[in-house]
Amino acid sequence: MGRIVAIDYGTKRVGLAVTDPLKIIASALETVHAKDVLTYLKNYCAKEAVDAFVVGMPTRLDGSDTNNTSHVKGFVGQLKKLFPEHPIHLHDERFTSSMALQAMIMSGSTKKDRREKGNIDKVSATIILQSFMEQQALRS
């Protein structure tokens, strides 16, 4: 069984999260620079079995595109070219950054850890992945 990799794409940093092989638990994986993310994913998929990708899709409350939506769509196009055999699921990422910050506060993270934007990106990707997994469970 392969894992599901979640991606919180930003033009500077990309937060990554992954499931366990049984697809039960979502865990933060890494934060990488946007220019390095495809190489990172290629190397990761060479070491680990990956069944699918979940990409956080940024939208406004009314469902319209944000400034980052076109960047994410471009990234998804590159991801499809690099991994044509892997399904790519788009998932609503509204409020994940604020939820990630709140989760870090509740877990006792230090202010220094919360100021590190890469930590928030990883936790955001984990929230996207957990939300996707819960949605899939409801559909089953």
- Enclosing H/E stretch for 26: strand 26-33
What DSSP state is assigned to residue 24? Answer: -
- State which amino acid sits at residue 102: Q
Q: Is the pLDDT of residue 8 over 90?
A: yes
pLDDT tens digit sequence for 61-109: 787 777 888 999 999 999 999 999 999 999 987 656 555 556 555 666 6
The pLDDT confidence band at residue 19, using thresholds 50, 70 and 90, is very high
Q: What is the pTM of this model?
A: 0.84
Q: What is the spatial distance between Cα 52 and Cα 137, in angstroms, rounded to a whole number?
A: 16
Centre a 10 Å sphere on the Cβ of residue 29 and count the other Cβ atoms it contains. 22
CATH code of the domain occupying 3-139 = 3.30.420.140
Give the per-residue SS3 of 100-130. Answer: HHHHHHHCCCCHHHHHCHHHHHHHHHHHHHH
